[in-house]
Amino acid sequence: MPIYEYECLKCGKTIEALQKFSDPPLTRCDCCDGQLHKLISMSTFHLKGSGWYTTDYAGKNQSTSSPASTEASKSEKSEKKESSSSE
């Protein structure tokens, strides 16, 4: 359930209320019985870090090669080392 913020127009106090989307908005302040005004506050949803975009939607990066191709390149390197050392 989201938390909504209300400000009393009479006393200026800010009130937070945990409400369902279907609940009616609060209208009266508990402290002074003044009229409440619903405030618009910042969202708490943030995307942080290296990002889902680079891993899910962007073109595949060279550093994110599959494990199978990595194993194949390792075996090729070891074969080249063996053939050069035997020469």
User: Is 0.75 topped by the overall pTM?
Assistant: no
Half-sphere CA count of 57, side-chain side, radius 13 A: 3
pLDDT tens digits, 24-65: 999 999 999 999 999 987 777 766 666 666 555 555 555 554
Q: In sequence order, which residues have a C-beta less than 8 Å from that of residue 16 and are 6 or more positions away?
A: 3, 4, 5, 6
Q: What is the DSSP string of 64-79?
A: S--HHHHHHHHHHHHH
Q: Tokens 């390149």 sit at which residue?
A: 73
- At 21 the pLDDT is 86
Can you name the residues that pair with 36 across neighbouring β-strands? 8
